Amino acid sequence: MKSTSSSSHRTRHVPQRTCLGCRQIKAKRELIRIVNTPGGNLEVDITGKKAGRGTYLCPILECWEAGLKGNRLDYALRTSFNQESRQQLMQYAEEHLRGAASGPGKKTG
Ligand SMILES: [Zn+2]
């Protein structure tokens, strides 16, 4: 019998962030960054390299709805956003994150 006591665990350092919507901690690369630009707009930061204070959301429509609702986003980014900025993000979410969701199409406006 052999007893191997040399086990080298290589822990890779994976940056993690909390999703604003579901509050789950996930790998940063699995999340989408929302950044507060110097102009005070909310932008989706695909590269994750834009300057500004950012927060993270899962690529799941539900998380965006939860995160953009109320004042969570304002709290996370320490500012207040107008409805327009929020709607732009929701529009992005609905265009890019909507899966095969079956149901009645919501119409806003
Ligand atoms: Zn989430």
Taking ligand 1, which is a single-atom ion, which protein residues have CB atoms under 5 Å away? Answer: 19, 21-22, 58, 63
Where would I find the beta strands (DSSP E) of 1-109?
16-18, 25-27, 32-36, 42-45, 53-57
Nearest Cα neighbor of 57 from 95, 100, 46 is 46
Residue 4 CA to ligand 1 center (angstroms) comes to: 41
Query: How far is the first Cα of the chain from the last one, in angstroms, to the nearest whole number?
Result: 73
Distance (angstroms) between ligand 1 centre and the Cα of 109 equals 26
* CB-based burial label for 18 (10 Å; 0-12, 13-18, 19+): middle
Q: How much is the pTM? A: 0.77
pLDDT in tens, the chain (109 residues): 665 655 567 778 899 999 999 999 999 999 999 999 988 889 999 988 899 999 999 999 999 999 998 899 999 999 888 889 999 999 999 999 987 555 555 555 4
Domain boundaries, the chain: 16-96
In the CATH hierarchy, which top-level class contains the domain 16-96? alpha beta
Helices 61-68 & 83-96, crossing angle to 10 degrees? 170
For 106, counting Cβ atoms within 10 Å of its Cβ (0-12 exposed, 13-18 middle, 19+ buried), the class is exposed
The rounded Å distance from CA 102 to ligand 1 centre is: 20
